[in-house]
Amino acid sequence: MTPKECIEFAKESECRMVDLKFLDLPGVWQHFSVPMQELDEDSFESGFGFDGSSIRGFQSIHASDMLVIPDPDTAVIEPFTEVKTLSLICNVVDPVTHLPYSRDPRFVARKAEAYLKSTGIADTCFVGPEAEFFLFDEVRFDFGHHFAFHEVNSDEGQWNTGRAEDPNLGYKVRYKQGYFPVPPTDSLQDIRAEIALTLHGLGIPVEALHHEVATAGQCEIDMRFAPLVQMGDRLMWFKYVVKNVARRHGKTATFMPKPLFEDNGSGMHCHVSLWKAGQNLFAGHLYAGLSQAALHFIGGVLAHAPALCAFTNPTTNSYKRLVPGFEAPVNLAYSSRNRSASIRIPMVSANPKARRLELRFPDPSCNGYLAFAAILMAGLDGIQRELPAGQPLDKDIYGLTPEELKDVPKTPGSLGKALDALESDHDFLLAGEVFTPDILERWIHFKREQEAVQVAIRPHPYEFLLYYDI
């Protein structure tokens, strides 16, 4: 869509406001709005100003002025405002040089796509994330110098089987038994359907929707795969729609990987394939119908997985899910069909167009633009350097003994260790200037100082049970 077509679309839709969306470094959408009459064709070059020092991970206060440049191809009608509003996703640029901002995550994803084409290996990287989430009925949390607590609640939660509900009708979801129950046990079908239809109205096709394994409202809605940058945009819309439809129904949605103790966490399995001139480069006649390029891509992802986790699993809470011994995809191995491997080759169709890799360790707390770009860069490094994938692990990994698992590498055990791995292994990200030293340094510093350290210095309630009487 050209700028002129975008403006005509807005006028035909009788829009009165324009909402300008961009995201901070951690990956949360920010926005501000302007009246429709403020948008003209020049706006798509001159942009709109904002204070970059107030955005997490962006500018210092002495160089705070920044611009957002709307991308006309992202134009849709905002689904959650009473006033008819045109919504545009924006790129961030420097107001002096007018060059793209190095810390804009969407710019990193755009560079990753350009670098892929420049290598001649492929022209498209398709990504299909399966972002799981919880729909709770209430969440409360607070902390101070002398206290800390959190509490979530759900009408579906098994812990509410004995709650006085005037009347309590039962049909609570048992722990770890929430996969595919029908209503009335599954009480969220209509909300998931509304989310899917809202996404469809935004031009985002949905393939499937269902209740997930955990009690207390864990859900999954699967979007159809799309090229990398477009899927980055769609993941942002996905989270936005889930949260706003949930709120419309008096519920609250979270993409935290591990909000519940002793039940399944939320992952974001990422299906990835490389294509060139309409041909799937991952289809072949080797293991599980894969090509040599696909196996080298696996080799690159496995070689760089600890560093990748700094982007694919970028929160301290991520490592409450990635814990050995609890059916988490912590073992860095690949396998056909085997869902206990961190990389799976789905056997869902004999059609070579469907051949792909499924990375099972990422989670939905990630910034999709950065995570998808990092995965692509690791895989390309594997192809370019012909890194071996090693032998597949077709056994039930969760059933192996410690002795059998001792030589299988693991994902990092904490955000701090993932950031350490990124510090020591990041050259593959710098190829083609896709990632820059500036954004890597800022990411590591922000994640350490604002998240890892802040969690580390606070007492945990369970420590009182363990240590108070020492």
List active site positions: 51, 130, 132, 212, 220, 269, 339, 358, 360
Strands 17-23 and 85-93, bridge-based pairing: parallel
Give the separation between CA 345 and CA 352, rounded to whole angstroms: 12
Contact 130, 269 (CB under 8 A): yes
Contact 215, 174 (CB under 8 A): yes
Write the CA distances from 235 to 67, 129, 198, 371, 416, integer angstroms.
23, 8, 14, 11, 26
The two tokens of residue 437 are 């030293």
Say how many CA atoms lie within 13 Å of 190 toward its Cβ.
6
Kindly report the number of other CB atoms within 10 A of residue 40's CB atom.
11
Peptide bond into 167 cis (omega under 30): yes
Closest CA to 187 of 163, 170, 205: 170
What is the torsional sign of CA 306, 307, 310, 313? negative
Contact 237, 189 (CB under 8 A): no
Give the separation between CA 1 and CA 72, rounded to whole angstroms: 6
Continuous segment of H or E residues that includes residue 172 = none
In one-letter notation, the amino acid at residue 140 is R
Residues in the chain: 470
Kindly report the number of other CB atoms within 10 A of residue 363's CB atom.
28
At 319 the three-state DSSP class reads helix
Give the separation between CA 264 and CA 125, rounded to whole angstroms: 30
